[in-house]
Structure 1
């Protein structure tokens, strides 16, 4: 019975969290579904015969325990957005390159120990660590990162000189159908692929930064405004 009740409550919480944006589940207000899940769990506990098999005091203690568990789950669900923000901030402090997304949608990155800002971009479903470089006119992918993202490099002509913070290199022009940084997505973005061995790390240049509403650096924080 314990696992049945726990399963019902866990399933209810998962369904509520998945549908919280819609405000309803199966056509019913989400608050009603939450109270039905909690009430049915307590009712199952009582029907299980625990009141008859144990002392009244012990049964009341067990019932109170279930109520506290239910209250904790409901409380956790109520503050889920704050919890996500807290986890995001802690992750951003511990892992440079991890995005910290504010409730207003701004995305912040902490400066790495090497003095640069690193981000984790999503390109064609692949995670690509990139150095933010406002001195680069375009996104520049290293040859290995471009290969990882599935770009067809066979027909490219590496003849275009590019100037970056790492120096000059030869590159070929490509178009990225989609790139996402910290949840900020841009489509049909011009980019360059550096010649093999010419670039150690990919660069997030102005062809992405210009798509933003704004971006700024304050101390050891880089903030992007979508």
Structure 2
């Protein structure tokens, strides 16, 4: 082992001397300095790896199998990193198929896709102060409106609210109370300190994601049964 150590030191030392003495030429034996330095670095590690393999005295078949396994693991990790956004999209699509209204992250996480539900509305499964809320996206609603039940699960004390704001619902005019939430998160899109309305208990069947949220986006569009929200 001590002999191997001194051999490696000699190689590194010789390579460094050649790099230093190359001066302004920028080449060593006709090879660019940076390429020579990289080759020297990889060569030293190759010697160390080869010596370690030889020292184990394992059968060549076992060595080849272990190297193949590690190469497969490394290539899998590299491929997973390179295609991380595509894999996220696949995972989002699977989740959306299982849980209606789940946002699908697209375009590298800068946009969200929502699919139209069976009832013809676009649903959005979002987090309001950590609580899951199933919204209907309503471009006709000026404000985002929470049902009393959703507001309670998000930590809002509904009993202390004053329901004085008139809002239009499918069942006519209802009363709501003005308040705010710390955050609304829809996939990779998050908005903080958003003003919302809380409908009086029993006045609203489902929470509405209104224009005061949509207008904070870079844009949104509808393509048939798909809605795209861009941050």
Give the structure-1-normalised TM-score: 0.70
Match of 1:67 in 2: 71
Give, in whole Å, the separation in 1 of the partners of 2:202 and 2:141.
18
Q: What is the rounded CA distance, in whole Å, between the counterparts of 1:111 and 1:91 in structure 2? A: 15
Q: Distance in 1 between matches of 2:230 and 2:66?
A: 50
Contact 1:96 1:109 in 2 (8 A): no
Q: CA deviation at 1:48?
A: 10
Give the distance between the partners of 2:212 and 2:170, measured in 1 at CA. Answer: 16
Q: Equivalent residue for 2:186?
A: 181
* Residues paired across the two proteins, number: 186
C-alpha deviation, 1:194, in angstroms: 0.9
Separation (CA, whole Å) in 2 of partners of 1:216 and 1:76: 31
Gaps of 5+ in 1: 1-35
Task: Confirm or deny that 1:91 pairs with 2:95.
Answer: yes
Which residue does 1:127 correspond to in 2? 132
Q: What SS class does the counterpart of residue 68 from structure 1 fall into?
A: helix
Summarize the Cα distance change of 1:58–1:169 in structure 2 as closer, same or farther, 3 Å threshold: same
CA distance in 2, matches of 1:72, 1:48: 27
Asked if 2 retains the 8 angstrom alpha-carbon contact of 1:142 and 1:194, the reply is yes
Q: Which residue of 1 aligns with 2:107?
A: 103
Query: RMSD between aligned alpha carbons?
Result: 2.9
- Match of 1:154, SS state, is helix
Indicate yes or no: 2:133 matched with 1:140.
Answer: no
